[in-house]
Amino acid sequence: MSYKLVYARQAKKDAKKLKGTHMAKKAKEVLEIISEDPFADPPPFEALVGDLMGAYSRRINIQHRLVYSIDESVIRVLRLWTHYE
């Protein structure tokens, strides 16, 4: 089953930051993986708590993460930079 990716406003802003960096390729790879199976391992994912409860996170690098939520056949990409800001 393939999932449809929908980008939140903040994720679109984050994508502009990623473009042209060494992390862009890794982010694209992770997006391709979650579009096929949002629970595929590797790369490992973690369920988030607090304000982002119900969302999942995967590392792009040591600092930056891809944060997404799942609703039936739609994956909403919330962040592509960091969720600590």
pLDDT digits (tens, 9 = 90+) for 59-83: 998 889 999 999 989 999 999 987 5
Rounded CA separation 50/7 (Å): 21
**Hey, what domains does the chain have and what are their CATH numbers?**
4-79 (3.30.2310.20)
Tell me the whole-structure pTM to 2 decimals: 0.89
Asked if pLDDT for residue 85 goes beyond 60, the answer is no
Q: Dump pLDDT digits (tens) for 29-48.
A: 999 999 999 999 888 999 99
- C-alpha 72/C-alpha 84 separation (Å) is 27
